C-alpha cells in the first residue's frame, strides 16, 4: 500500500518528483500524492499551477475551475486556491504532510483575555501547516525551509524555529532536523536548506525517542535523516541540550516572548545547530559534518551542447564591455556612491568568480536568474560557440577580442547564461519540466525550488 502524501505550497512539484519520480515514470510508487495545493497571491495568472497541472495531466473541474483532477480516475487532486480559505476537512486523510514554506516572522502573542487563542501570528503559512496537522494528525511531516530559519530573527536568534518546534510538541510530535547542502551529497548545486521531519505517535521514530532512545545515536546513525543523509560522528562529546520552555506550562506566546532573549543587548547567537532532535520539549543539537561522497556532479556535467543554446542566452560583447555591464558587476569595486538623500559614501566589494567554475557544484540558483540584464549574481559559464553562433553574435569583433583579453578566454571560447533546462537539472527536475512559460518565470521557479534528490533520499529511508 502506498504512503498517502499531501503536498502544500507545491510550486511546480519538487516534493512530488522527490516522492514519486518524474511525471509518468511509474504508477506503483510507495508514495502517492493524493492532494496538492499551490497558490501565488501576488499574481493574477497562476503560472506554477499551470505547469503543475500540465505535467501531471490534471484537468480543471467544470463547476470549480480551481480544482484539478486526473482523467485516469486515480485519486489525484490539485487545488489552486489560497490554503487559508480551504477547510482542513476538505483535505483527504493522509500519512505524510509535506511542503516548502516561506521563512517569515513566527512571533505570537496572547489575546487580550489570555484565552486559548493566539493573536499576532505573522508566519501565516506555518500556521496553515499546523492547522492541517492538528486536524488530520498525519504520521509524518516533512518540511523544507531556508537555512536562516535556525537563526531568525535578529535579536532573538532561533525564536522562530523554537515556536515551530513547541507547536509541534503541542501536537505530540517528535522532530528531527538537518541543515543540508545538496552538493555535500553528490548533487551539482551548493544549495543549503533545512529539512524538518516530524514523527507522530505510533511511528518507529516516535516510539524510539520517547522510550529512552539516545538522541545522539538517532542524530548520527539511526534516525531517518541520518540514514538518508549520513554525517560523521561528533567526537566533541554529547550534543548540546536545552528546553524550549522556561516553565512546563508556558504556552506558545511565552516561548515567543522569552526564548533566547540574551543579556546586555548582545546578540546571543542561535542555540540550534546543523542537526538535532526535539522530544517532549527538550532539544539536543550538534554540528554537522557530512560523510564524504565518492561521486559528485559538477556544473560542467549538466550543461547542454552549444548547438542547443539559443542566442538569447549568449552574452553580447556590448553587454560585457558596458561601463555597468557584466564584467563591471562581477568585478571588485571600491568607489564613491551617492545615496538617495545625497549622502556620499565609499562602496567596496570583492570580485565574484567569472565565469563560474565548471569543475565543482554551482552556486545557489536565485529567483532572478532569468532575463538578459547584466547581474552580479546570475550564473555565467564558459563554452565553445558554434561557427554559426560566432557569426550571428559578432564574437569575432574587436569588442569580443577585448572581452577575451579582460576575462582570459581563448579564441574559441565565449560566455553565456544558464538555460532553463540547465537550471532544472541543477535541482533534479526533468528537462523542460517548466516549459510553457517565459524563461524568466522558469528561472524564478527553480530559484524557489528544492533539490528533488534530497527528498528522494529521505523518502527512501522512510
Contact 175, 160 (CB under 8 A): no
103: annotated active-site residue: yes
Cα dihedral sign, 260-152-340-334: positive
Maximum Cα interatomic distance, the chain, rounded to a whole number of Å: 75
| 3 state SS for 292-332 | CCCCCCCHHHHCCCHHHCCHHHECCHHHHHCCCCHHHHHCC
Cell numbers linked to 132: 492541517
Instruction: Using alpha carbons only, give the angle 182, 47, 311 rounded to the nearest 5 degrees.
Output: 75
Query: In the block, which residue shows the cell 518540511?
Result: 143
Cell numbers that stand for 362 in this block: 554551482
Q: How far apart are CA 442 and CA 436, in angstroms?
A: 9
Taking CA atoms, 402 is separated from 153, 202, 312, in Å, by 47, 67, 21
Cβ–Cβ under 8 Å, residues 57 and 71: yes
Tell me the C-alpha distance between 333 and 49, whole Å: 41
Phi, psi angle pair for 123, to nearest 5° = -80, 70
Cis status of the peptide bond prior to 325, with omega within 30 of 0: no
Catalytic residue ranges: 103
Amino acid at each position: 500500500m502506498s504512503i498517502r502524501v499531501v503536498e502544500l505550497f507545491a510550486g511546480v512539484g519538487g516534493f512530488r518528483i522527490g516522492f514519486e519520480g518524474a511525471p509518468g515514470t511509474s504508477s506503483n510508487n510507495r508514495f502517492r500524492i493524493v492532494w496538492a495545493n499551490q497558490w501565488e497571491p501576488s499574481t493574477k495568472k497562476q503560472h506554477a499551477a499551470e505547469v503543475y497541472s500540465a505535467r501531471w495531466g490534471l484537468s480543471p473541474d467544470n463547476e470549480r475551475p480551481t480544482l484539478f483532477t486526473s482523467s485516469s480516475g486515480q485519486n489525484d487532486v490539485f487545488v489552486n486556491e489560497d490554503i487559508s480559505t480551504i477547510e482542513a476537512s476538505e483535505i483527504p486523510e493522509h500519512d505524510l504532510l509535506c511542503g516548502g514554506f516561506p521563512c517569515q516572522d513566527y512571533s505570537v502573542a496572547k489575546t487580550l483575555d489570555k484565552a486559548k487563542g493566539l493573536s499576532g501570528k505573522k508566519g501565516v503559512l506555518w500556521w496553515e501547516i499546523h492547522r492541517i496537522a492538528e486536524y488530520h494528525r498525519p504520521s509524518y511531516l516533512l518540511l523544507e525551509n531556508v537555512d536562516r530559519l535556525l537563526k531568525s530573527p535578529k535579536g532573538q536568534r532561533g525564536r522562530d524555529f523554537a515556536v515551530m518546534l513547541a507547536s509541534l510538541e503541542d501536537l505530540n510530535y517528535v522532530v528531527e532536523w538537518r541543515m543540508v547542502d545538496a552538493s555535500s551529497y553528490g548533487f551539482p548545486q551548493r544549495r543549503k536548506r533545512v529539512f524538518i521531519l516530524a514523527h507522530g505517535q505510533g511511528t518507529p521514530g516516535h516510539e524510539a525517542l520517547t522510550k529512552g532512545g539516545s538522541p545522539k545515536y538517532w542524530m548520527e546513525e539511526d534516525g531517518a535523516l541520518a540514514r538518508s543523509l549520513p554525517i560523521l560522528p561528533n567526537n566533541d562529546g554529547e550534543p548540546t541540550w536545552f528546553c524550549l520552555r522556561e516553565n512546563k506550562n508556558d504556552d506558545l506566546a511565552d516561548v515567543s516572548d522569552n526564548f533566547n532573549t540574551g543579556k546586555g543587548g548582545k546578540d546571543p547567537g542561535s542555540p540550534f545547530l546543523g542537526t538535532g532532535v526535539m522530544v517532549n520539549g527538550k532539544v539536543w543539537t550538534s554540528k554537522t559534518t557530512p560523510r564524504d561522497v565518492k561521486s559528485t556532479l559538477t556544473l560542467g556535467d549538466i550543461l547542454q551542447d552549444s548547438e542547443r543554446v539559443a542566442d538569447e542566452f549568449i552574452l553580447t560583447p556590448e553587454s560585457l564591455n558596458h561601463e555597468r555591464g557584466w564584467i563591471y558587476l562581477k568585478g571588485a569595486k571600491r568607489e564613491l556612491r551617492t545615496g538617495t538623500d545625497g549622502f556620499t559614501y565609499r562602496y567596496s566589494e570583492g570580485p565574484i568568480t567569472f565565469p563560474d567554475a565548471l569543475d565543482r557544484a554551482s552556486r545557489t540558483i536565485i529567483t532572478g536568474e532569468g532575463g538578459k540584464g547584466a547581474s552580479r549574481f546570475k550564473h555565467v559559464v564558459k563554452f565553445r560557440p558554434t561557427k554559426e553562433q560566432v557569426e550571428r553574435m559578432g564574437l569575432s569583433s574587436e569588442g569580443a577580442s577585448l572581452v577575451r583579453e579582460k576575462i582570459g578566454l581563448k579564441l574559441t571560447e565565449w560566455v553565456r547564461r544558464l538555460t532553463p533546462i540547465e537550471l532544472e537539472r541543477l535541482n533534479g527536475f526533468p528537462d523542460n519540466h517548466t516549459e510553457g512559460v517565459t524563461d524568466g518565470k522558469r528561472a524564478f521557479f527553480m530559484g524557489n525550488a528544492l533539490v528533488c534528490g534530497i527528498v528522494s533520499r529521505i523518502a527512501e529511508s522512510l
